[in-house]
Chain A
Amino acid sequence: MAANFWESSHCNEWLLDRNKIEESNSKDKSYLTPMELKRLRTHYCFVIQNLGNALKLRQRATSTAIVYFKRFYLKNSFVDCEPRLIAVTCLYLSSKVEECITQAKKCSAKMKELDHTFNYTMNDILECEFFVLEELAFCLIIYHPYKSLPLYLQNSGLDMASIEIIWGVVNDSYRTDVCLMYPPYVVALGCIYLGSYLLKKDIKQWLSELNVDMKEIWEVSKELIDCYEFEKLSSQNPSEPDFLYAKLPIRNKK
């Protein structure tokens, strides 16, 4: 299973079509427009990334946490489950699964440093750990595009120096929903495709010779371009997430 993605729960239970993903955060839609909701969802990906960096966790653990967060809200909503608490809990959980364990106490303290209005405690995280596990249906092992990157880069004829740019593109891809829709190798190829475009290198010939669905690869890169454009627009209003958060009548807010 570690070697066999095709028999994994990730492949067989957690690759979803777009309609299913649209059902995410259903209750929040009464309070936020689709664009506002997208803005807030993206915001929490940044929150997890920043907290992961502050805790010096491996990128893999941070990426796993973002996938957990997205899976969690497929059936839940921010109004019922406070998103910052779930974000921290997802990261605490992924630090155990990815074998770079951190303490719940440290998680809540670091989060408080990054966001002074965060008042949840270690015990809240530990209680939440159980709820998150349940909502993930105990499927904890996540496959990532990182592992296949070096091999693909070598075969595509792109130089290894471009790996840094493409690695960054892969990290950015977690702010989109491609990790819920496509197998990691498709995400990897989509990121390489976009990277080659940024590097002004033509790899279409190589891609066309692979036995892959070009439409999916194109869709991954399209999702990324949309994401960059959306983030560029929303960066003009950095306080918007706080404003949107305040619009939600969140249960048990601390």
Chain B
Amino acid sequence: MNSHSNSQQAHLQQQQVYSPIVLTSTHRQDVQEKYQFSYEIGSGTYGMVYKADDKKRPTNKVAVKKFRSTKEGEGLSLTAYREIGLLKELSNENIIKLLDVCLNPKDKLLYLIFDYAEFDLFGIIKYHRENQSHFSDVTIKSLIWQVLNGMHYLHSNWVIHRDLKPSNILVMGEGKEVGTVKIGDFGLARIFQSPLKPLNENGVVVTIWYRSPELLLGSKHYTRAVDIWAIGCIFAELITTKPLFPGKEKDPKIPSLFQDDQVDKIVKVLGKPTLEMWPDVKHLPEWKRISNMEPYPNTLAKCVGIDEKSNAYDLLSKMILYDPSKRITASEALDHPYFKEQPLPMANAFAKSPIPYPHRLPINKKKREFDD
């Protein structure tokens, strides 16, 4: 009993003793005072994401991203800096909006507050795959158009996302923005005023399924074309509800490792790249590993199950083109005949029909379901 009250006293004392090293003009409110946390909806290397209510506007749901504290002596992570720095400047209907930033200097914790998006492409593709149903044409077209629209905005502002994948493409649920795509997670995004170092040099691990062939073959430079490749992969995944290139990843902790299974998956769909279709490939460090491979035909249309003469196929094949310098750009893609033919892309990708997808669940509950 005695020791309990002692520790309580010590705790109180500690709270009283904390006096900030500087006295600033900003009045700070703790994140808990401003937002009512509901439950955890996601986690990653950066930290955790929670669903929460904005206490000032109780009808508004928000997503709170809580960053893991970094190692002793490091301060806020570069990832956090990039995300805050960029999102503070970016403003587009298809880019997630940073609403607020909360800091706790005592615990060295950082919280970013975003619009809450009920869905993401990972979840809704999974729903269709498990129910063996398909997206409607208008939904696929609207989703891809909006992703390209957000990407065109980023690219024209000299920002490369570098980590596009279905779970980073959010879609708004019921409300005035229902069915609107929001590109999220800018932790790896960079301004490319100066040449960008490869992510693996920074010790960063990204999913390989959406990684472009030039990066897989050891290219040291990121260009806008890496984002377009990823969007192409996602386009095919929306059509079939299955990932287009689900390669088995070799130890992600060894960044320089050649991902032969991922490259193999691509070759089995697009055929073996040749010097005629991609002249600069001979300068890539890993080119030798595939130059001796047996020729393999392009089977994209069959794999995705669409007509080779369709506009959808034409656009898809231009997005997942081997040669990054010939790959279609976001602005060219938005101008593609696919988007000019019926059905036309819509601002509400769900096209006003009822939304069948399940809402986000607390993370531990999901795990329990998985165990069952």
Q: Please give me the residue from chain B that is nearest to A103 by CB atom.
A: B73
- Which size class do A's interface residues fall under? 35 or more
Q: Does A104 contact B (CB under 8 A)?
A: yes
Bound together, the chains give a CA A104 to CA B105 distance in angstroms of: 15
- A251–B73 CB distance below 8 A: no
Q: Does A86 contact B (CB under 8 A)?
A: yes
Bound together, the chains give a CA A81 to CA B84 distance in angstroms of: 24
Bound together, the chains give a CA A85 to CA B24 distance in angstroms of: 13
| Min CB gap B97→A, angstroms | 14
Q: Please give me the residue from chain B that is nearest to A4 by CB atom.
A: B157
| Min CB gap A137→B, angstroms | 8
- A127–B158 CB distance below 8 A: no
Residues in chain B near residue A104, CB distance under 8 A: 73-75
- B105–A131 CB distance below 8 A: yes
Q: Does B365 contact A (CB under 8 A)?
A: no
Residues in chain A near residue B159, CB distance under 8 A: 1-2
- A126–B25 CB distance below 8 A: no
| Min CB gap B30→A, angstroms | 13
Residues in chain A near residue B157, CB distance under 8 A: 1-4
Knowing A1-B157, A134-B24 are in contact, say whether A141-B76 is a contact too (CB < 8 A): no
- B21–A127 CB distance below 8 A: yes
Q: Does B193 contact A (CB under 8 A)?
A: yes
- B88–A138 CB distance below 8 A: yes
Bound together, the chains give a CA A75 to CA B22 distance in angstroms of: 13
Q: Does B26 contact A (CB under 8 A)?
A: yes
**Complex interface residues of chain B between 206 and 223 (CB less than 8 A to chain A):** none
Q: Does A109 contact B (CB under 8 A)?
A: no
Residues in chain B near residue A126, CB distance under 8 A: 73, 75, 108
- B22–A128 CB distance below 8 A: yes
| Min CB gap B8→A, angstroms | 25
Interface string of B84-126 (1 = CB under 8 A from A): 1110111100000000010111001000000000000000000
- A251–B22 CB distance below 8 A: yes
Q: Does B289 contact A (CB under 8 A)?
A: no
Partner of B75, one of A9, A129, A140: A129
Partner of B156, one of A3, A8, A127, A141: A3
| Min CB gap B305→A, angstroms | 40
Q: Does A101 contact B (CB under 8 A)?
A: yes
| Min CB gap B100→A, angstroms | 9
- A2–B193 CB distance below 8 A: yes
**Complex interface residues of chain A between 187 and 226 (CB less than 8 A to chain B):** none
Q: Please give me the residue from chain A that is nearest to B106 by CB atom.
A: A127
**Complex interface residues of chain A between 78 and 95 (CB less than 8 A to chain B):** 80-82, 85-86, 92
Knowing A80-B24, A251-B23 are in contact, say whether A140-B73 is a contact too (CB < 8 A): no
**Complex interface residues of chain B between 248 and 268 (CB less than 8 A to chain A):** none
**Complex interface residues of chain A between 112 and 147 (CB less than 8 A to chain B):** 122, 124-131, 133-135, 138-141, 147
Residues in chain A near residue B57, CB distance under 8 A: none
Q: Does A252 contact B (CB under 8 A)?
A: yes
Chain A interface residues toward B at CB < 8 A: 1-4, 7-9, 75-76, 80-82, 85-86, 92, 96-97, 99, 101, 103-105, 122, 124-131, 133-135, 138-141, 147, 251-252
Q: 16 pairs across A/B with beta carbons < 8 Å? A: A1-B158, A2-B193, A3-B158, A9-B89, A76-B25, A80-B24, A82-B22, A103-B74, A104-B74, A124-B21, A127-B20, A130-B76, A138-B101, A139-B88, A141-B88, A141-B89
The 9 A-B pairs with the shortest beta carbon distances in the complex, nearest first, are: A1-B89, A2-B158, A130-B105, A81-B22, A75-B25, A140-B85, A2-B191, A80-B23, A130-B103
